[in-house]
């Protein structure tokens, strides 16, 4: 094989430059890239969730494990990163007179915005807060994830409160979840002293709340599909109730760092550490599920045609050309802000060396998930003669090759 | 409608006895609460001249012990903060803000050759508000030197149980009688206990709900919260009074143009008779409900809360200048609202 790079525009894409461009000069905007990367990472996350479900068949057990991990993981961030709580309080304009953990509502609101989970705050007070989301890219992963996100917010709120004068404690509770088929995601936080409810476990902060008659349900026709930073009527600025403002630049890097797998993989690590699962079991399940999910992506000819439009791929690139897969990967890698180098890009092979840390996002198994996902995808997008595999990766890189390969045990 | 529960929009204020009691304590007896703001100390030979340049109202003519509410503007004449500036000594000012980091950046950008410095003294000072008709009696029952003759916007050193404090006659509630106690943060537990016990003897209570201290009480009195003022200029929100046009200040050029041409928008008040409503106000951080008069778009809901004194939903709208007058009826998300002055008591 020649390792040559065919003429392509622009040759230098992949150096982390903005905006996102395909090898055939098809450009997508910052806005579209942010949406794309959230959707993409959560599709991979949905496959990883299925692996988790195979490994731990019991819903309650899974939910408990994820909720525990989510609370502890966010607690760790607040406890271990020097200055983080203070910076967070300043940035979000938590006022010195705000007592207790209702300030967590400010954290959740701003975080939702960055993750393109648009909606509205319906109530924000010391004893009750309500936030309603119309869009959530995490909604296809699974309801266990919905439960655990509530607990990560609870952890943020509880730790933010430690900087503040003592005050009422509110419990963050997910009433509706798009991941369950509801119209919205709805978090209602209530102080149990003021709004009592029967005792329940952490994973059960889900479903009806004490103040359900105060809920402000926004009808379908009034729902939105963009964050404030991308909407004209908000002057393309996110604002919260305490006068914090930020523009579209805040979407990155958050959209690349937070998605369903950032809740699932650390939970699987917990279970491995506790001896309830082994590394091999987890790796095998991720391999199987992600490969299958990848294969399912391009089973239809119209999906391949759609991809060609997305990439601006010319007709001289045949339907059985590995460069289609390469171009597809480049669009994702740029949207993820994962730097890569192109070693080969021609009709016989494509070779990329990708920044492994950017792919991993502190989760080594995420790299494996992508690898198997892309492997499966190559089989259906190009054809079964073609494969995608890791080969001779230098330190800190994932070096992948897309080419024809015979494997009698694949 | 795809919703598992009956949609009721039950009013989060009207039926809430706790919020009502806290709000009405301030209006009828006395309410006390933690009201610590960020406190910035500005010193140096040019401190007065520097602040004169930063703020559109007069600062240099403040006597020591007196204070002034003022906006802070950007180069476009838009309000970027509203603060109270205290002159503590000839060459020492305190500024009460909620956005100190933004303020520091702004000061740094405009320091130029002014010989001035500033420090965040928030970690040293706690502040409690004591507001309402019995606040003077309650304050006098705590302090060494009675404050009966204090003027509004006056701050004086005093003493509580041997602890040096400042008593400031001011407030964010619209009450004729209202005070703020500044004291060392280390004294907070003892001070809070004292306030709690003393309030009982005046039939008062602690205000604990953010919505009452930041929204319902100030809104009734026609006061703004900084979120309301974002991306407005002083003429649009009725805060142009007291601006010193003779001096140079940041935003003056842009503001002169607004004065000459007249503001494009203005703030009006409204009430909504429907008890249980779903109206988005910018005070929650969003675009603000669209306001329609006779089917025509005229503005946005700036703030929506509740007047416990009038027992009605109330709030403010920022609308096209002269598009609404008192008595007009408008709709917001299907609810009818009646326009009034943006002050409710």
- Nearest-CB residue to B38 (from A96, A213, A241): A96
Q: What is the pLDDT of residue B1?
A: 44
Q: Is there a shared CATH topology between the A20-39+277-404 domain and the A57-256 domain?
A: yes
In a domain, B345, yes or no: no
In a domain, B309, yes or no: no
Backbone angles phi, psi at A228, to 5 degrees: -60, -35
pLDDT at residue B3 is higher than 90: no
- CATH class belonging to A20-39+277-404: alpha beta
Q: E strand or H helix at A42, and its extent?
A: helix A30-55
| Most A-contacting residue of B130, B285, B288, B306 (CB-CB within 10 A), to test interface | B285
- The 10s digit of each residue's pLDDT in A274-329 is 999 999 999 999 999 999 999 999 999 999 999 999 999 998 898 889 999 999 99
Q: What is the pLDDT of residue A60?
A: 98
* A26 CB-contact burial (10 Å; exposed 0-12 / middle 13-18 / buried 19+): middle
Taking the C-alpha atoms of residue B213 and residue B223, their distance in angstroms, rounded to an integer, is: 12
Q: What is the pLDDT of residue A17?
A: 47
List chain B residues with CB under 8 Å of A186.
none
pLDDT at residue A224 is higher than 50: yes
- Nearest-CB residue to B5 (from A90, A215, A228): A215
8 Å CB contact between A116 and A31: no
pLDDT at residue A14 is higher than 60: no
- The 10s digit of each residue's pLDDT in B233-282 is 999 999 999 999 999 999 999 999 999 999 999 999 999 999 999 999 99
In a domain, B325, yes or no: no
What ipTM was estimated for this complex?
Answer: 0.96
Q: What is the pLDDT of residue A6?
A: 73
Tell me the average pLDDT across B141-149: 97
CB atoms within 10 A of CB A367: 19
Taking the C-alpha atoms of residue B178 and residue A201, their distance in angstroms, rounded to an integer, is: 45
Q: What is the pLDDT of residue B278?
A: 95
Q: Minimal Cα–Cα distance from B285 to chain A, Å?
A: 4
In this structure, the strands spanning B205-206 and B31-34 are: parallel
- The total of structural domains in chain B comes to 1
List chain B residues with CB under 8 Å of A170.
none
Q: Which residues of B touch A (CB under 8 A)?
A: 1-12, 18, 33-38, 98-99, 101, 122, 127, 188, 208-211, 213, 226-227, 230-231, 278, 280, 282-287, 333
User: Chain B within 8 Å of A109 (Cβ-Cβ)?
Assistant: yes
In a domain, B211, yes or no: no
Q: Minimal Cα–Cα distance from A389 to chain B, Å?
A: 46
8 Å CB contact between A295 and A376: yes
User: Chain B within 8 Å of A246 (Cβ-Cβ)?
Assistant: no
The architecture of the domain spanning A57-256 is 2-Layer Sandwich (3.30)
The alpha-carbon radius of gyration of chain B (Å, integer) is 21
Taking the C-alpha atoms of residue B337 and residue A61, their distance in angstroms, rounded to an integer, is: 51
Q: With an 8 Å Cβ cutoff, are B8 and A99 in contact?
A: no
Q: Minimal Cα–Cα distance from B246 to chain A, Å?
A: 31
Q: What is the pLDDT of residue A1?
A: 59
Return the axis-axis angle of helices A30-55 and A261-273, rounded to nearest 10°.
Answer: 30
User: Chain B within 8 Å of A206 (Cβ-Cβ)?
Assistant: no
Give Cα B273 to chain centroid, integer Å.
26
Tell me the average pLDDT across A207-212: 95
Q: What chain A residue is nearest to B334 in terms of C-alpha separation?
A: A222
- Nearest-CB residue to A123 (from B12, B98, B188): B12
Q: Which CATH number fits the domain that encloses residue B189?
A: 3.30.1360.120
Q: With an 8 Å Cβ cutoff, are A121 and B284 in contact?
A: yes
Tell me the average pLDDT across B94-120: 97
Taking the C-alpha atoms of residue A38 and residue A136, their distance in angstroms, rounded to an integer, is: 9
List chain B residues with CB under 8 Å of A99.
34, 208
Taking the C-alpha atoms of residue A122 and residue A131, their distance in angstroms, rounded to an integer, is: 6
User: Chain B within 8 Å of A240 (Cβ-Cβ)?
Assistant: yes
User: Chain B within 8 Å of A124 (Cβ-Cβ)?
Assistant: yes
Tell me the average pLDDT across B29-43: 98
Taking the C-alpha atoms of residue B155 and residue B163, their distance in angstroms, rounded to an integer, is: 16
Q: Minimal Cα–Cα distance from A254 to chain B, Å?
A: 20
8 Å CB contact between B303 and B316: yes
8 Å CB contact between A11 and A5: yes
Tell me the average pLDDT across A76-83: 92
Q: With an 8 Å Cβ cutoff, are B7 and A215 in contact?
A: yes
CA end-to-end span of chain A, whole Å? Answer: 22
User: Chain B within 8 Å of A216 (Cβ-Cβ)?
Assistant: yes
Tell me the average pLDDT across A34-46: 97
Q: Percent of chain A beyond pLDDT 90?
A: 91
Q: Percent of chain B beyond pLDDT 90?
A: 98
Query: Which of A12-21, A335-344, A392-401, B10-19 is predicted with the least confidence, judged by mean pLDDT?
Result: A12-21
SS3 track for chain B: CCCCCCCCCCCCCCCCHHHHHHHHHHHHCCEEEECCCEEEEEECCCHHHHHHHHCCECCCCCCCCEEEEEEEECCCCCEEEEEEEEEEECCEEEEEECCHHHHHHHHHHHCCCCCCEEEECHHHEEEEEEECCCHHHHHHCCCCCCCCCCCCCEEEEEEECCEEEEEEECCCCCCCCEEEEEEEHHHHHHHHHHHHHHHHHCCCEECCCHHHHHHHHHHHHCCCCHHHHCCCCHHHHCCCCCECCCCCCCCHHHHHHHHHHCCCEEEEEEEECCCCCCCCCHHHCCCCCEEEECCEEEEEEEEEEEECCCCEEEEEEEEECCCCCCCCEEEECCEEEEEECCCCC
- The 10s digit of each residue's pLDDT in B180-239 is 999 999 999 999 999 999 999 999 999 999 999 999 999 999 999 999 999 999 999 999
- Nearest-CB residue to B209 (from A90, A125, A243): A125
When the pLDDT of each residue in chain B is averaged and rounded to a whole number, the result is 97
The whole domain housing B51 covers 30-203+233-263
| Most B-contacting residue of A96, A170, A210 (CB-CB within 10 A), to test interface | A96
- The 10s digit of each residue's pLDDT in A342-364 is 999 999 999 999 999 999 999 99
Q: With an 8 Å Cβ cutoff, are B210 and A125 in contact?
A: yes
When the pLDDT of each residue in chain A is averaged and rounded to a whole number, the result is 94
Strand partners, A34: none
So where are chain A's domains?
A: 20-39+277-404, 57-256
Q: What is the pLDDT of residue A10?
A: 55
- The 10s digit of each residue's pLDDT in A121-137 is 999 999 999 999 999 99
Q: What is the pLDDT of residue A249?
A: 85
């Amino acid at each position: 094989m020649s390792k040559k790079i065919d003429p392509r525009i622009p040759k230098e894409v992949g150096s982390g430059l903005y905006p996102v461009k395909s090898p055939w000069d098809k450009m997508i905007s910052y806005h579209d890239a942010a949406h794309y990367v959230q959707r993409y990472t959560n599709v991979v996350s949905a496959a990883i969730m299925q692996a988790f479900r195979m490994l731990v068949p019991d819903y309650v057990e899974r939910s408990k494990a994820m909720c525990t991990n989510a609370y502890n993981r966010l607690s760790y961030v607040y406890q271990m990163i020097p200055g983080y709580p203070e910076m967070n309080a300043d940035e979000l304009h938590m006022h010195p007179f705000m007592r207790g953990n209702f300030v967590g509502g400010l954290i959740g609101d701003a975080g939702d915005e960055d993750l393109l989970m648009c909606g509205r705050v319906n109530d924000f007070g010391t004893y009750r807060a309500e936030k309603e989301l119309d869009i959530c890219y995490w909604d296809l992963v699974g309801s266990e994830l919905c439960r655990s996100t509530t607990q990560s917010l609870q952890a943020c709120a509880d730790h933010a409160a430690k900087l503040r004068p003592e005050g009422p404690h509110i419990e963050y509770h997910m009433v509706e979840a798009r991941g369950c088929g509801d119209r919205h995601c709805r978090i209602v936080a209530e102080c149990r002293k003021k709004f009592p409810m029967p005792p329940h476990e952490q994973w059960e902060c889900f479903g009806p709340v004490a103040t359900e008659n105060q809920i402000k349900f926004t009808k379908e026709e009034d729902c939105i599909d963009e964050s404030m930073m991308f909407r004209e009527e908000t002057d393309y600025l996110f604002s919260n109730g305490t006068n914090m403002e930020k523009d579209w630049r805040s979407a990155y890097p958050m959209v690349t760092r937070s998605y369903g797998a950032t809740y699932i993989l650390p939970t699987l690590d917990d279970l491995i550490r506790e001896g309830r699962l082994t590394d091999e079991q987890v790796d095998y399940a991720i391999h199987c599920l992600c490969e299958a999910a990848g294969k399912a992506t391009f089973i239809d000819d119209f999906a391949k045609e759609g991809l060609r439009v997305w990439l601006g791929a010319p007709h001289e690139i045949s339907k059985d050309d590995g460069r289609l897969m390469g171009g597809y990967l480049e669009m994702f890698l740029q949207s993820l802000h994962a730097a890569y180098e192109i070693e080969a890009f021609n009709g016989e092979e494509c070779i990329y060396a990708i920044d492994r840390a950017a792919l991993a996002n502190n989760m080594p198994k995420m790299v494996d998930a992508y690898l198997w996902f892309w492997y499966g995808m190559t089989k259906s997008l190009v054809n079964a003669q073609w494969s995608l595999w890791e080969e001779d990766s230098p330190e800190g890189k994932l070096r992948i090759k897309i080419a024809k390969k015979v494997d009698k045990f694949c | 409608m795809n919703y598992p529960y009956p949609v009721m929009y039950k009013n989060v204020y009207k039926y809430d006895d706790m919020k009502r009691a806290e709000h009405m304590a301030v209006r009828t007896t006395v309410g006390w609460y933690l009201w610590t703001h960020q406190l910035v100390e500005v010193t140096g030979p040019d401190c007065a001249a520097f602040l004169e340049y930063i703020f559109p109202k007069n600062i240099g003519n403040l006597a020591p012990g007196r204070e002034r509410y003022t906006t802070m503007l950007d180069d476009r004449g838009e309000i970027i903060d509203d603060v109270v500036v205290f002159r503590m000594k000839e060459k020492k000012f305190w500024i009460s803000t909620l956005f100190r980091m933004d303020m520091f950046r702004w000061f740094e950008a405009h320091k130029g050759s002014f010989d001035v410095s500033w420090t965040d003294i928030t970690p040293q000072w706690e502040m409690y508000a004591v507001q309402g008709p019995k606040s003077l009696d309650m304050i006098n029952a705590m302090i060494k030197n009675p404050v009966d003759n204090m003027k509004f916007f006056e701050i004086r050193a005093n003493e509580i149980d041997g602890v040096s404090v400042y008593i400031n006659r001011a407030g964010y509630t619209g009450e004729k009688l209202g005070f703020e106690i500044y004291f060392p943060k280390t004294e907070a537990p003892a001070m809070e206990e004292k306030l709690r016990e003393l309030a009982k003897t005046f039939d008062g209570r602690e205000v604990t709900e953010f919505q009452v201290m930041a929204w319902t009480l100030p809104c009734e009195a026609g006061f703004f919260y900084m979120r309301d003022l974002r991306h407005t200029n002083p003429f649009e929100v009725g805060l142009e009074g007291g601006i010193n046009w003779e001096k140079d200040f940041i935003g003056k050029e842009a503001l002169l143009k607004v004065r000459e041409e007249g503001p494009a928008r203005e703030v009006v008040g409204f009430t909504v008779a429907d008890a249980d409503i779903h109206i988005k106000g910018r005070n929650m951080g969003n675009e603000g409900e669209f306001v329609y008069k006779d089917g025509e778009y005229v503005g946005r809901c700036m703030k929506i809360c509740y007047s416990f004194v009038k027992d009605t939903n109330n709030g403010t709208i920022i609308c096209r200048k002269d598009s609404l007058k008192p008595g007009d009826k408008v709709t917001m998300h299907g609810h009818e609202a009646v326009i009034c002055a943006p002050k409710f008591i």
